[in-house]
Chains A and B, each alone.
Chain A
Amino acid sequence: MTNKTRHVTYMGLALSAGLLAGCVQVGEQSDDEPDLTEMSAEEYAEYLIFESNSFKLDQEVQEGGTARERMQQDELQRLCSDTRNRPHGEVANRIVAMARESFEYPEGGIQLGDWEKGAELARSGYGYRIGHNYDNPERTVGGNCYACHQMDPEELAYGNIGPSLSNYGELRGNTEAVRRFVYEMIYNPHAYFPCTAMPRMGHNGFLEQESISHIMAYLLDPESPVNARKVDPDVEMDPASAPAGDTGF
């Protein structure tokens, strides 16, 4: 809410400056513009995003609307940014409560899909990128799980920002409680880890229900290589010795 109010203030500032100067030059500041040094760092950052012509805000995006909406923070994003991802006390409680309220479950209950499709989705980082390139909206959106998690123990190109999920189903089983937890973690992990780095794959509409069911199968199906391979947990693999894959980063 405060963001919106601020935003309106800048629009006013920018507008009046625009009227005075006749035309605000892209990237060049003139004496007629608002005194930027009067702004706080937070105000100037918002000004930079929305008023300084720094971003391609008018680009259309596949979820509808424009890139401008992508830059506008919702409450969760704002709370986590303001607390630098270390929310305490009431803020953390608020985040957890909001996440719990956000859950929407698939009709007919949480079911496992096809782990082979899940394996592909877990490896794919495709989807929703905009700017100088544009991901084709017709192509299936990936979950990009391997960017941050180990899953199949034989896949060496895994990241470690998140915990290892190798043998996830083998260790926890495939009960309804486990399925529900995994679904909720994918849908909105802030219910369990407020201000986690993990995206709200379900809540943000990033992954479709069907894709979530395939990725869940990859994690929980006993036939999936995530669970079917036995690896000595004491032997640590050296990721630096594996061939480099193009992650796109």
Chain B
Amino acid sequence: MIKQWLVATALAASVVGGATASDSPYLTGREQLMMLADNNPAELTEWRGEDLFHEPRGPKNVSLEQCDFGLGPGVLEGAYVQMPRYFEDTGRVMDLESRLIHCMKTLQGFTEEDDPIARKHSSDTREADLTALYTYIAAQSNGMAWDPPMDHPMERLTRDAGEVLFYRRAGNMDFGCVSCHSEPRKRIRLSFLPVVSHQEEWSKAVSWPAYRIGHGVVRSSQHRVRGCYYQMRQAGVKFGSDASIAILSYWTDQARGGEATLPDLKR
């Protein structure tokens, strides 16, 4: 019954959305993901993030409502799909997570050591505030097209360097991002891998935050980048570092025009 429904949905999607949808194993290969797609536990995280965003917090006891994510103070709609971007006030290309930390420091007065900033990722027992805030803000771009700005020279250089990093093989397993994300229909064990050149797959793949069923919590793009460098046996990449943002810049640019699913549900 469910299978028939899935097949019907897939067929309908391929008719409506074009020819590519149904033949991507990354997008359709996991039935349990498709069945859960309408019941994403990340919504709970998003709601908590909404409360945290509007609540006066930190030593300065102010909310994040005046934080500028690139489209002006407090403008959240469409902000995330237009990141990473260059910010004049910091002189850096920043992703959403590092921009959030910047605002939590400058507006609210939190320091690097305070738990809302220090706790970068969620655990079984405690969800990181940062993840909740990130999920809420990202969700305000749900369904929009990825569209990172490339006006500033540092935005372009960051993306181009991210591309070099993507293809750069190193470490004692000789891996680079390219090792897993260049050929269609490939798997590691049972996990289908998204391909950077396949816009539909890739725009779904870079749709972080996502509730990861295998982890039982919501994960971020920074968490994904860290996991890839770890598996590649290369050096640990630091949270919010310029190299991590270069990777994000390249991968978001590769998804340009594709639809963002925010928050997403992943295996």
Is B18 close to A, CB under 8 A? Answer: no
Is the pair B235, A68 in contact by a Cβ cutoff of 8 Å? Answer: yes
**Which partner residue on chain B sits nearest A160 by CB separation?**
B187
Chain A nearest CB: distance from B198 CB in Å? Answer: 16
Chain A nearest CB: distance from B19 CB in Å? Answer: 21
Is A6 close to B, CB under 8 A? Answer: no
Is A87 close to B, CB under 8 A? Answer: no
Q: Chain B residues near A59: list those with CB within 8 A.
A: 235-236
Provide the A136-180 mask, 1 if CB < 8 A to any CB of B, else 0: 000000000011100000001111110000000000000000000
Is the pair B188, A45 in contact by a Cβ cutoff of 8 Å? Answer: no
Chain B nearest CB: distance from A125 CB in Å? Answer: 8
Tell which of A53, A68, A70, A157 touches B190, judged by Cβ atoms closer than 8 Å: A157
Give CA–CA (A73, B164) in the complex, Å.
Answer: 13
Is A209 close to B, CB under 8 A? Answer: no
Is the pair A48, B165 in contact by a Cβ cutoff of 8 Å? Answer: yes
Asked, given contacts A131-B229, A245-B190, whether A29 binds B172 with beta carbons under 8 Å apart, the answer is no
Q: Chain B residues near A85: list those with CB within 8 A.
A: 167, 178, 182
Give CA–CA (A55, B246) in the complex, Å.
Answer: 13
Is the pair A131, B237 in contact by a Cβ cutoff of 8 Å? Answer: yes
Is the pair B267, A53 in contact by a Cβ cutoff of 8 Å? Answer: no
Is A81 close to B, CB under 8 A? Answer: yes
Q: Interface size of A by Cβ–Cβ distance < 8 Å? A: 64
Q: Looking at A45, A57, A67, A239, which has the most chain B CB atoms within 10 Å of its CB?
A: A45
Give CA–CA (A27, B226) in the complex, Å.
Answer: 17
Q: Chain B binding site: helix, strand, loop or mixed by DSSP?
A: mixed
Is the pair A54, B169 in contact by a Cβ cutoff of 8 Å? Answer: no
Q: Which of A14-22, A102-110, A198-206, A223-231 contacts B (4 or more CB under 8 A)?
A: A198-206
Asked, given contacts A45-B164, A129-B230, whether A161 binds B236 with beta carbons under 8 Å apart, the answer is no
Give CA–CA (A146, B189) in the complex, Å.
Answer: 6
Chain A nearest CB: distance from B244 CB in Å? Answer: 7
Q: Which of A184-220 contact B (CB under 8 A)?
A: 197, 199-200, 204-206
Is B170 close to A, CB under 8 A? Answer: yes
Is B50 close to A, CB under 8 A? Answer: no
Tell which of A37, A129, A206, A246 touches B153, judged by Cβ atoms closer than 8 Å: A37
Asked, given contacts A85-B178, A240-B31, whether A247 binds B91 with beta carbons under 8 Å apart, the answer is no
Q: Chain B residues near A242: list those with CB within 8 A.
A: 190
Q: Chain B residues near A158: list those with CB within 8 A.
A: 189
Is A248 close to B, CB under 8 A? Answer: yes
Q: Chain A residues near B65: list those with CB within 8 A.
A: none
Is the pair A128, B173 in contact by a Cβ cutoff of 8 Å? Answer: yes
Q: Chain A residues near B54: list those with CB within 8 A.
A: none
**Which partner residue on chain A sits nearest B233 by CB separation?**
A128
Is the pair B233, A56 in contact by a Cβ cutoff of 8 Å? Answer: no
Chain B nearest CB: distance from A79 CB in Å? Answer: 9
Asked, given contacts A129-B233, A160-B187, whether A53 binds B172 with beta carbons under 8 Å apart, the answer is no
Chain A nearest CB: distance from B189 CB in Å? Answer: 4
Chain B's interface size range is 35 or more
Is the pair A27, B242 in contact by a Cβ cutoff of 8 Å? Answer: yes
Is A36 close to B, CB under 8 A? Answer: yes
Q: Chain A residues near B162: list those with CB within 8 A.
A: 45
Is A88 close to B, CB under 8 A? Answer: no
Provide the A39-71 mask, 1 if CB < 8 A to any CB of B, else 0: 101101100110011111101000100011011
Is A101 close to B, CB under 8 A? Answer: no
Tell which of B182, B214, B241 touches A54, judged by Cβ atoms closer than 8 Å: B241
Q: Chain A residues near B175: list those with CB within 8 A.
A: 197, 199
**Which partner residue on chain B sits nearest A57 by CB separation?**
B235
Give CA–CA (A27, B91) in the complex, Å.
Answer: 10
Is A235 close to B, CB under 8 A? Answer: no
Give CA–CA (A48, B248) in the complex, Å.
Answer: 14
Chain A nearest CB: distance from B178 CB in Å? Answer: 7
Tell which of A45, A67, A245 touches B235, judged by Cβ atoms closer than 8 Å: A67
Beyond the given A54-B238, A72-B170, could you list 8 further A-B residue pairs with CB under 8 A, ordered by the A residue number? Answer: A36-B154, A55-B229, A73-B170, A77-B174, A132-B236, A156-B190, A240-B31, A246-B214
Some 24 contacts from A to B, beta carbons below 8 A apart, are A36-B157, A37-B157, A42-B161, A44-B157, A44-B160, A45-B162, A45-B246, A48-B242, A54-B242, A56-B236, A59-B235, A71-B171, A71-B235, A73-B169, A77-B170, A80-B169, A132-B236, A147-B189, A148-B188, A199-B173, A246-B214, A247-B188, A249-B188, A249-B227
CB-CB nearest 3 A-B residue pairs: A131-B236, A54-B243, A41-B160
